[in-house]
């Protein structure tokens, strides 16, 4: 386990700080009516790296001027390492550059945060074993819970890049075509079973054409964000067979504003759980490619306090993002810079470690208890759902910031 790297930015040196020098997550911010700028979080500040590049203190082919991280990603892994290395040097406690760098620090609380990258395409997987078993049991019965392919390959569906929004964006309850098991005919109306899915999103930082190995896939992943795959369960139940989710998942997907890089997560690598069936060679991992990241979900009803409704860990996933990406390219599917790969809902084995409300309330049959005597089966109008995540080192944490959204009433 690695130790805290100390910075001359004092607020970055506390064990509770989400953005110590070990982290250096990438985001896009603006101040007032100013333009979108690439920035890096350090303690309670944002380092304006676009400004650093303009001043000639760092140099990355002008890519940091674009107000979005895609063009920097395109430079490739040696540049990803070099930026991290140079920023670590400039911000380290023993740096002699403090006076040069200090003018480029902006208080985090004064900044508005925006989409950190342009989502090229969005794919969502279904790689949490407990989640797949729970959903399968509810939708198809315990005997057919896990589809026959599930232990042999990571399954997923192509989602909508246009639906991905940054943390803090309001979500509106969708309408959809609904037909419950006892309804004779379908009707059109607001979803009554609107839900969340706690996921991690992997960001593809390099183009590929044709199949790539799991190792190459791992190398091509730039970083990770928290991801909430908002899901209308009643729309989903009626529409999903045989082609999978469609409008149930198209309303919105929220991501956190900070990209935590794969390089920052390096000390927290861990193996996927033991295989029940041996995987075909093209899906086998050459080393640990999952991460130990603690995750939680908070639910705050309007005008009330928040209750943490789920605590789990990314190390529960049966397939890593590298395996998912290798599977995604196995047919020759080209991948683009900024492709977003959702992990699938991350549920643990325990009742309080389930990453969606449909699991927590078991299809609405067992509402969960919140503070102040409130109960929930699904998301209600005015509820704010917040995902949080942290990898924990010796006296520090690699935080993801928050991934929050508030549901407003259907219009």
| Active centre residues (catalytic) | 131
Q: Supply the minimum distance, in Å, between the C-beta of residue 352 and Mn ion.
A: 20
Applying CB under 5 A, the span of 43-51, 122-130, 281-289, 377-385 interacting with Mn ion comes to 122-130
Task: Please spell the DSSP secondary structure of 318-348, one letter per residue.
Answer: SS-HHHHHHHHHTT---B-TT-EEE------
Contact region for Mn ion (CB under 5 A) — 222-230, 300-308, 364-372, 395-403? 222-230
Q: Which stretch binds Mn ion (CB under 5 A): 69-77, 223-231, 302-310, 331-339?
A: 223-231
Instruction: Give residue for tokens 């908002």.
Output: 230
CB 213 within 8 A of CB 282: yes
| 229 forms part of the interface with Mn ion (CB under 5 A) | yes
Question: Per CB under 5 A, does 124 bind Mn ion?
Answer: yes
Q: Which stretch binds Mn ion (CB under 5 A): 57-65, 123-131, 176-184, 383-391?
A: 123-131
Give the number of other Cβ atoms within 10 Å of residue 289's Cβ. 21
Q: Does 195 bind Mn ion (CB under 5 A)?
A: no
Q: How far is the CB of 113 from Mn ion (least distance, A)?
A: 23
Choice between 233 and 376, CB closer to Mn ion: 233
Question: Minimum Å distance from CB 199 to Mn ion?
Answer: 6
Which residue number, 124 or 339, has a Cβ lying nearer to Mn ion? Answer: 124
- The rounded Cα 25 to chain-centroid distance in angstroms is 13
Whichever of 121 and 124 has its CB closer to Mn ion, that residue is 124
Q: 197 or 339, CB closer to Mn ion?
A: 197
Judged by beta carbon, residue 73 or residue 340, the one nearer Mn ion is: 340
**How far is it, in rounded angstroms, from Cα 207 to Cα 224?**
17
Burial of 380 (0-12, 13-18, 19+ CB in 10 A): middle
- SS3 sequence, 29-76? EECCCCCCEEEEEECCEEEEHHHHHHCCCCCCCCHHHCCCCHHHHCCC
Q: How far is the CB of 250 from Mn ion (least distance, A)?
A: 12
Cβ distance to Mn ion smaller for residue 37 or 249: 249
Cβ-closest residue to Mn ion? Answer: 229
Closest distance of CB 121 from Mn ion, Å: 15
234 scored as a contact of Mn ion (CB under 5 A): no
**Residue-wise DSSP of 120-170:** --EEEE--BHHHHHHHHHHHH-GGGSS-TTTTTS--EEE--GGGEEETT--
Q: Is 359 in the site for Mn ion (CB under 5 A)?
A: no
Cα 66 from chain centroid (whole Å): 23
Question: Per residue in 160-170, is it b (16+ CB within 10 Å) or e — as a string?
Answer: bbebbbbbbee
Q: Find the shortest distance in angstroms from Cβ 58 to Mn ion.
A: 37
The span from the CA of 374 to the CA of 291, in Å, is 34
Which of 48, 121, 195, 197: binder of Mn ion (CB under 5 A)? 197
CB of 195 to Mn ion, least distance (A): 10
Q: How far is residue 222's CA from residue 332's CA, in Å, rounded to a whole number?
A: 21
* Binding window for Mn ion (CB under 5 A); candidates: 117-125, 168-176, 232-240, 324-332: 117-125
The whole-angstrom separation of Cα 292 and Cα 224 is 13
CB neighbour list of residue 236: distance below 8 Å, 6 or more residues apart: 245, 248, 249
Binding site for Mn ion (CB under 5 A): 124, 197, 229
């Amino acid at each position: 386990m690695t130790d805290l790297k100390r910075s001359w930015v004092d607020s970055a040196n506390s064990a509770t700080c989400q953005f110590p020098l070990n982290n250096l997550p990438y985001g896009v911010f603006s101040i007032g009516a100013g333009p979108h700028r690439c920035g890096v979080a350090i303690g309670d500040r944002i380092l304006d790296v676009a400004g650093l590049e303009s001043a000639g203190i760092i140099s990355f082919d002008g890519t940091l001027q674009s107000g979005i991280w895609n063009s920097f990603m395109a430079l490739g892994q040696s540049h990803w390492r070099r930026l991290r290395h140079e920023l670590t040097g400039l911000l380290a406690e023993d740096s002699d550059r403090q006076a040069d760098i200090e003018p480029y620090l902006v208080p985090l609380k004064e900044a508005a945060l925006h989409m950190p990258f342009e989502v090229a395409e969005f794919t969502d997987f279904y790689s949490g074993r407990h989640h797949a078993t729970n959903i399968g049991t509810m939708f198809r019965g315990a005997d057919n819970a896990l589809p026959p392919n599930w232990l042999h390959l990571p399954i997923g569906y192509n989602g909508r890049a246009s639906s991905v929004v940054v943390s803090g964006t309001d979500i509106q309850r969708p309408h959809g075509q609904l037909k419950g098991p006892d309804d004779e005919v379908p009707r059109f109306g607001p979803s009554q079973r609107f839900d969340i899915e706690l996921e991690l999103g992997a960001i593809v930082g390099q183009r590929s054409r044709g199949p790539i190995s799991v190792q190459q896939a791992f190398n091509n992943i730039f970083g990770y964000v928290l991801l909430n795959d908002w899901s209308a369960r009643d729309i989903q139940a009626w529409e999903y067979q045989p082609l999978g989710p469609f409008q149930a998942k198209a309303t919105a997907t929220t991501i956190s504003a900070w990209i935590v890089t794969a390089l920052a997560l390096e000390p927290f690598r861990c193996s996927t759980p033991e295989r029940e069936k041996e995987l075909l060679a093209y899906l086998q991992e050459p080393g640990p490619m999952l991460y130990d990241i603690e995750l939680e979900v908070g639910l705050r009803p309007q005008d009330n306090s928040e209750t943490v409704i789920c605590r789990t860990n990314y190390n529960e996933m049966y397939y890593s993002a590298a395996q998912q990406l290798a599977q995604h390219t196995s047919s020759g599917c080209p991948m683009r810079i900024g492709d977003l790969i959702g992990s699938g809902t991350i549920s643990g084995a325990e009742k309080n470690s389930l990453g969606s409300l449909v699991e927590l309330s078991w299809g609405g049959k067992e509402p969960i208890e919140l503070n102040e005597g409130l109960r929930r089966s699904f998301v209600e109008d005015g509820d704010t759902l917040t995902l949080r995540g942290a990898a924990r080192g010796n006296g520090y944490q690699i935080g993801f910031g928050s991934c929050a959204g508030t549901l407003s009433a259907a219009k």
